[in-house]
Chains A and B, each alone.
Chain A
Amino acid sequence: MIRRTQRLKKEYLYRKSLEGKERVNYENKRKIREALQEGKPIPTELRNVEAQLRREIDLEDENTAVPRTHIDDEYAFAAEKDPKILLTTSRNPTAPLQRFVKELSIVFPNAQRMNRGNQVVSEIIESCRSHDFTDVILVHEHRGVPDGLIVSHLPYGPTAYFGLLNVVTRHEIQDKEAVKTMPEAYPHIILDNFNTKLGERTATILKYLFPVPKPDTKRIITFANKSDYISFRHHIHEKQGGPKSVTLKEIGPRFELRLYQIKLGTVDQAEAQTEWVIRPYMNTTRKRKFLSN
């Protein structure tokens, strides 16, 4: 079992290393295809490999034509399988944090909450892998206020580290709110203003935490990005009146996420490669936006 996982990891890394070559291959095939279509002579550097590439072009279908990246591998089966999420906290959580995690477990459909106890992270990941979980979410806190969120996609997938700001839990609103129950239908997702490559990456990480919804659900979860701060909002909408007017009612917790790291491994892999890490002391950080344009 250990060796199997090691082998799979090695395969993954190997395939990632092949991406460069694959990309080159793809480019060459594309050039040849274009040349053939336009009737132009094939570029000289491709003359040797032309015959083989042409055969490959003929044998291609839609799936194989697109160059695959390790990212696609990570979320290859995500579209087909519904996500299964495990929620835990850091060690010795305070009561407010526990409440917050309980709320989050209702927000994410198909999510389970687990007491942390004194488990080591690697143990947690192992058990999750064997139980076919797709994601693990760890929530950290500072004196009762939740301040950190780690989303780890499970089969060797990427880990995204977020900082939480301006957290307003449902418990805080509980006194004023009449509604105490929350619908648990699969929600629609809105991802707004994720324009750059890094933004798209974060968007996919957040998107694949949720299953495929029915088209007529009333529940909406929004991740709105504004100058690198992602606002999480949870609403129920009702289409009242004939004209296209929609009333929104906010339920659920509300917080701002701030991405500070993406690692290309699970949480327990300390030596995993970092895809992106925040640079707060770079001189131009203040002017730049990394998740949007």
Chain B
Amino acid sequence: MANTNNAGAEALRRLKEVDPPSLLAPNPTLSETARAASQYLFSSIRPFSQKCPLDQLLVDGYDAEQIWHQIDLQTQPLLSTLRRRVNQFVKNPDEIAQLKVPSSVAKKVEAKNHEEWEQESDDFDEELDEDDDDEDDFEGVEKEEKNGGSDGEEEEDDDDDDDEEGSEDEDEDEEGEKEKGKGKDSGIEDKFLKINELNEYLEKEENNYENAEEADDGDEDSEEDDELEKAGEFEMDEDDEDDDEEEDEDDEEEEEEGMENARYDDFFVGKKEKSSKRKDQLVEESEDSGDEDDMESNKQKKRTASTHEKQLEKIQSEIELMEKANVEPKTWSMQGEVTAANRPVDSLLAVNLDFEHNVRPTPVITEEFTASIEDMIQKRIIEGLFNDVQRAPRLPSKAPREVKELDDNKSKKGLAEMYEQEYVQKIDPTSAPLSSKDKLKNEASMLFKRLCLKLDALSHFSFAPKPVIEDMSFQTNVPALAMEEIAPVAVSDAAMLAPEEVFDGKGDVKEEAELTQAERKRRRANKKRKFKADAVKRSEKKARSEKKEDNAIPGQVNG
């Protein structure tokens, strides 16, 4: 073991002394030494790299690429662990004193390794602190580092080396880029970029990576996958960026905003706050995860927290969407009364509007409808049920002829009586006794006569004036024409009664109030005279009547 160690150390030393130009030409001895040196280095680092599947570097019969890969396998996880540890030490300098060293390693080695680690970390820090974009510079730095590590393969196969270096560089670059951002003019430390935050994030990622290997948790795997994808994406973008930075930015903007595809511009060009929120979440998560000391408990908490946190994330994103929608102005269909000026052209065609109609819709004449009507018609025809107009039974226009029955019985009235009746009828039709007809008939005929009179008067057809009935009736003072013409076309003022019949008197008629004194006296005088004359007459009458009574022979009356 010591021998090999010594041989390895010797090889390493010899490599260091080699003249750089001689590395350009392929040299088998140099390659041998290089291999040996790398083997030695590998095995010396091996105790500290727990995750490495290789126990020693296999160099016999392997070409440069394969050797590089083996080295990668060892160093990659180691680097992240180292970074984390360095950060921890930066935070808590006291811990440096408490630094534990695995017992399997000799102190010398330990010291040497210490130096190397410090060198590496120094280099690394230098890397971090440098602020150049140039990849060549990076390459240069890495070359230095790799020379310190495992080198010599470069002279074997330039292309491969270049590629590998390129890939190494890319890996380094990706980390650097992550730190720096793809801006044209940014240093490593921005107002947005904090190394502490970055380291925390990296720790978290590294833990995820470790957990993925140990745990069977699907979530973690997915996280790891996401991470690896991200790494892959980063590499792709690296290639693009070599050509055109602007294109990259366009690509970034076109990509979905997943955590896998987050770019600096997404966060810090100022547009999308969501991404920055996401980044904050990441940072928070890394912080949360970073605060745990115990890996196991950390792992456990992470598992439960992550599902919960995933839910939270979902809800948060929904809330964001809804809040955003609420803050924005509403769509036109949600506003109250919208005229054509307030909505886009022809937008009403796309919307299904719902109106309440109060009228029944007009019937559409379908085949079924016609068929139903025709069925009804056929039924009616078969039954013979039509709604035709029926001839109404006419009222008899003529009364049935009166059939005169001949009475064979002997008439009760004598001939003389019959003649008498006829004579009376001729002279005075009204006073004649009623003929022996039905009382009802008489009544009917009287009613009919009256009716006919009225109708005739209305129609002016054949008017016969009212029969003059000479009974003691009062003559009313009605206009004469009213009596003679029932339907007065013109109403005359001629009175029925003659003026003398209306007023019997002469001269100037004056009221009591109008009389003069002399006239009053005259009236009174006339009155007295009349009264006296009447009184004389009465007394004479009385005298005569008394005389008659005296002269009267009792018991015999003339007359």
Contacts and interface: CB of A to CB of B under 8 A. Distances in A.
24 contacts: A80-B391, A189-B388, A190-B376, A207-B388, A208-B389, A212-B388, A212-B389, A212-B391, A220-B386, A222-B376, A224-B376, A227-B363, A239-B381, A244-B382, A248-B377, A254-B365, A256-B362, A256-B363, A256-B365, A280-B358, A280-B359, A285-B359, A286-B359, A286-B360
B382 A246 contact: yes
A235 B377 contact: yes
Given A235-B374, A256-B365, 4 more contacts: A188-B388, A189-B386, A226-B363, A281-B358
Contacts of B373: 222, 224, 231, 233
B394 A220 contact: no
A100 interface: no
A208 B357 CA distance: 36
Q: Main secondary structure on chain B at its contact with chain A?
A: loop
Output the residue of B358, B374, B381, B390 with the most chain A CB within 10 A. B381
Given A208-B389, A212-B391, A246-B382, A190 B362 contact: no
Interface residues on A, range: 35 or more
B296 to A, nearest CB: 74
Given A63-B395, A190-B380, A212 B386 contact: no
A124 interface: no
A80 B394 contact: yes
Q: Sorted from nearest, which 10 A-B pairs have the closest CB atoms?
A: A79-B392, A191-B387, A188-B386, A244-B382, A246-B378, A246-B381, A189-B387, A212-B389, A229-B363, A224-B373
B360 A227 contact: yes
Contacts of A166: 362-363, 365
Interface in A193-236: 203, 207-208, 210-213, 220, 222, 224, 226-229, 231, 233, 235
Interface of B: 357-360, 362-363, 365, 373-374, 376-378, 380-382, 386-392, 394-395
A246 B381 CA distance: 8
Contact of B377 (A229, A233, A280): A233
B292 to A, nearest CB: 72
Contacts of A233: 373-374, 377
A52 interface: no
Given A192-B376, A231-B373, A285-B358, A78 B389 contact: yes
Interface in A239-293: 239, 244, 246, 248, 254, 256, 280-281, 283, 285-286
Contacts of B359: 280, 285-286
Contacts of B380: 190, 192
B378 A207 contact: no
Given A285-B359, A286-B360, A190 B387 contact: yes
Contacts of B376: 190, 192, 222, 224
Contacts of B388: 188-189, 207, 210, 212-213
